[in-house]
Amino acid sequence: PTFADQYDVVVVGGGPGGYVAAIKSAQLGMKTACVEMRGRLGGTCLNVGCIPSKALLTSSHHYHDAKTHFADHGIVIDGSISMDISKMQDTKSKSVEGLTGGIEYLFKKYGVDYYKGKGKLTGPNSVGVDLIDGGSESLDSKNIVIATGSEVTPLPPVPVDNAGGKIVDSTGALEIQAVPEKMAVIGGGVIGLEMGSVWSRLGAEVTVIEFLDRICPSMDTELTKKFQTTLKKQGFKFKTKTKVVRSEVTDNGVVLTTEPSKGGDPKEETYDIVLVATGRRPYTEGLGLEDLGIQTDKLGRVEVDAHFKTAVPSIYAIGDVISGPMLAHKAEEEGIACVETIAGYAGHVNYDAIPGVIYTYPEVASVGKTEDELKEAGIAYNVGNFPFSANSRARANGSSEGFVKVLAEKDSDKILGVHIIGPNAGEMIAEAVIAIEYGASSEDLARTCHAHPTLSEAFKEACMDAYDKPIHF
């Protein structure tokens, strides 16, 4: 039976935004349900995003290391080294299954009701659910949180067919069963470079086709220049300022026709597999937003106020479906802040302190402002730079490519941005995030004792360079 106020909070979507919001909501004592249509919790991130991609990145990194770096450490492998792709895929699937199952366990532990089905907003306080196993439910709730995430943006000249296996999106690229000889990646963004790295390490010749003049255009220019040079050394080919105007699937692969971005002579090239990775867009299909008068912007993002509230006061939205970076940890922070607000607390997300990491080798990690952004805003700043080639641990490890760059406000010395390319950058950036969150100066960090020998000393020395001089460079 349904009755008014059956739930305090119903969350539609069980990704990192939705499931975290649901758990936090239940922890705050609110009666909570989560509706997910995929059949498994964890959303894009756990099922077809962050987790499976990192599993393949780790496996392919081990293989590449064994082939190219073990010998440097005196490890002799008698006989050939080969890759069992199906075993690698199996390991990936097991990590995904374990983690999605883990969230279902957490739902039980904290008392979140889980409905497997597609949710539709049927009123300001009601959600209809078409259950996967047939039948339907109607849930009444004081508050509703939309956390329906995002999907791949189609690229009209290159229609994706994951089942066909020749033109794939990121989901298809996670399921490739044999190493392609030649692979094209359309879009030099995060997905293209991570998935490109996986198949490049396993032996594919990877060509990245990017519309703009550089890869990862929203990141710090100095960082992405270094990144592109490093990937080139690894065998990546880059066609920047290039657009794809046509594709044709043949028995031999996919023929791509490209042109200079600004127009010019077309060129044709054949690839075994083409990965389309030119961005993602919010997913709100069949949610019933229009009937409730909830607006989306021109990119399809649900419009919310600073407290994640839509035009309907009882309905909120978080994660990839609203504005901001499409990142799992951003969605999680919003999930927590949103339900804290609903429960009457002061939920807040600091958008200046959201890190972004690219899990290639070396890793690339950033937080806060880029140099271009500071210049544009007319903010005077100091730059601190420190190369990993001058860091003792990186040298001892035999992997010392990259640098740490710290941007601090000229007058106050407050850290405004940190950009790292190098081994373990994704873990190192956490220290920079805390620095920004607590409003630290570069001198604060430079005077903080860092264990020796660690890679994080490179961050300390970059901070020393920002306000004075480093010791080891």
Catalytic annotation, residues = 452
**CB nearer ligand NAI, residue 143 or residue 242:** 242
> Which segments within 242-327 are labelled E, that is strand?
242-250, 253-260, 267-271, 273-276, 280-282, 315-317
371 SS3 class: helix
**CB nearer ligand FAD, residue 64 or residue 118:** 118
Burial (CB count <10 Å: 0-12, 13-18, 19+), residue 25: buried
CB of 355 to ligand NAI, least distance (A): 9
What residue 278 binds from ligand FAD, ligand NAI, none (CB within 5 to 8 A, per partner kind)?
ligand NAI
Is there binding between residue 11 and ligand FAD (CB under 6 A)?
no
Is there binding between residue 92 and ligand FAD (CB under 6 A)?
no
Pure H helices in 234-388: 289-292, 328-342, 371-377
Q: Which of 64, 92, 118, 393 binds ligand FAD (CB under 6 A)?
A: 118
The pair of structure tokens assigned to 111 is 């008392």
What residue 302 binds from ligand FAD, ligand NAI, none (CB within 5 to 8 A, per partner kind)?
none
Asked if 168 and 247 touch (Cβ cutoff 8 Å), the reply is: no
Site map (CB under 6 A) of ligand FAD, residues 159-178, x = contact: -----------x--------
Is there binding between residue 43 and ligand FAD (CB under 6 A)?
yes
| Helix, strand, coil % in the chain, rounded to nearest 5 | 35, 25, 40
Site map (CB under 6 A) of ligand FAD, residues 234-273, x = contact: ----------------------------------------
What residue 14 binds from ligand NAI, ligand FAD, none (CB within 5 to 8 A, per partner kind)?
ligand FAD
Distance of CA 23 to the CA centre of its chain: 22
**CB nearer ligand NAI, residue 357 or residue 435:** 357
Residues 306-365, interacting with ligand FAD (CB under 6 A): 319-320, 326-329, 331, 359
How far apart are the C-alpha atoms of 122 and 37, rounded to whole Å? 17
CB of 185 to ligand NAI, least distance (A): 9
**Degrees (nearest 5) of the Cα angle 432, 416, 304?**
95
Site map (CB under 6 A) of ligand FAD, residues 181-220, x = contact: ----------x-----------------------------
Asked if 284 and 300 touch (Cβ cutoff 8 Å), the reply is: yes
At residue 80, what are phi and psi to the nearest 5 degrees? -90, 160
What residue 279 binds from ligand FAD, ligand NAI, none (CB within 5 to 8 A, per partner kind)?
ligand NAI
The residues, any chain, with a CB within 8 Å of residue 316's CB and separated by 6 or more, are: 143, 144, 145, 146, 304, 307, 308, 309, 310, 338, 341, 342
CB of 2 to ligand FAD, least distance (A): 18
**CB nearer ligand NAI, residue 21 or residue 190:** 190
**Degrees (nearest 5) of the Cα angle 147, 30, 49?**
25
Q: Which of 8, 14, 315, 371 binds ligand FAD (CB under 6 A)?
A: 14
**CB nearer ligand FAD, residue 347 or residue 384:** 347
Asked if 131 and 33 touch (Cβ cutoff 8 Å), the reply is: no
The pair of structure tokens assigned to 445 is 């960090």
What residue 329 binds from ligand FAD, ligand NAI, none (CB within 5 to 8 A, per partner kind)?
ligand FAD
What residue 35 binds from ligand NAI, ligand FAD, none (CB within 5 to 8 A, per partner kind)?
ligand FAD
Give the DSSP letter of residue 121.
E
367 SS3 class: strand
The residue ranges that bind ligand NAI (CB under 6 A) are 155, 186-192, 194, 209-212, 217, 243-244, 277-280, 325-327, 357-359
How far apart are the C-alpha atoms of 330 and 355, rounded to whole Å? 9
What residue 43 binds from ligand FAD, ligand NAI, none (CB within 5 to 8 A, per partner kind)?
ligand FAD
What residue 358 binds from ligand NAI, ligand FAD, none (CB within 5 to 8 A, per partner kind)?
ligand NAI
With tokens 């970076």, the residue in question is 325
CB of 170 to ligand NAI, least distance (A): 7
Pure H helices in 378-441: 392-397, 425-437
Binding site for ligand FAD (CB under 6 A): 12-18, 35-38, 43-45, 49-50, 53, 118-119, 147-150, 170, 191, 283, 286-287, 319-320, 326-329, 331, 359
